[in-house]
Amino acid sequence: MFFDVGIKDFIDVLLVALLLYYTYKLMKASGSIKVFTGILVFILIWLVVTQILEMKLLGSIFDTLMNVGVIALIVLFQDEIRRFLLTLGSHRHVSALAHFFSGSKKEALKHDDIMPVVMACLSMGKQKVGALIVIEHTTPLDEVVRTGEIIDATISQRLIENIFFKNSPLHDGAMVISKKRIKAAGCILPVSHDLNIPKELGLRHRAAMGISQKSDAHAIIVSEETGSISVAYRGQFYLRLNAEELESLLTKDN
CATH 3.30.300.30 fits 111-251, yes or no: no
Of 130, 131, 144, 159, nearest to 212 by C-alpha is: 144
CA distance 143 to 129: 26
Distant-in-sequence contacts of 234-240, Cβ < 8 A, 24+ apart: 234/87, 235/29, 235/83, 235/209, 236/212, 237/197, 237/201, 237/205, 237/209
CATH 3.40.1700.10 location in the chain: 111-251
- Residue 230 bridge partners (DSSP): 221
How would you write the pLDDT of the chain (254 residues) with one tens digit per residue?
Answer: 445 667 887 888 888 888 777 777 766 665 566 776 777 787 788 888 887 887 878 778 777 777 777 777 677 666 666 666 666 665 554 555 555 454 444 455 677 889 999 999 999 999 999 999 999 988 889 999 999 999 999 999 999 999 999 888 888 899 999 989 999 999 999 898 777 788 888 899 999 999 998 888 999 999 999 999 999 998 889 999 999 999 999 987 54
Please enumerate in sequence order all residues whose Cβ is within 8 A of that of 48, keeping only pairs 6 or more positions apart, or say none.
none
CA distance 246 to 230: 8
In degrees rounded to 5, what are phi and psi of residue 138? -85, -25
Q: Write b or e for each residue in 79-116: b if 16 or more Cβ atoms lie within 10 A of its Cβ, otherwise e.
A: ebeebbebbeebeeeebeeeeeeeeeeeeebeeebbbb
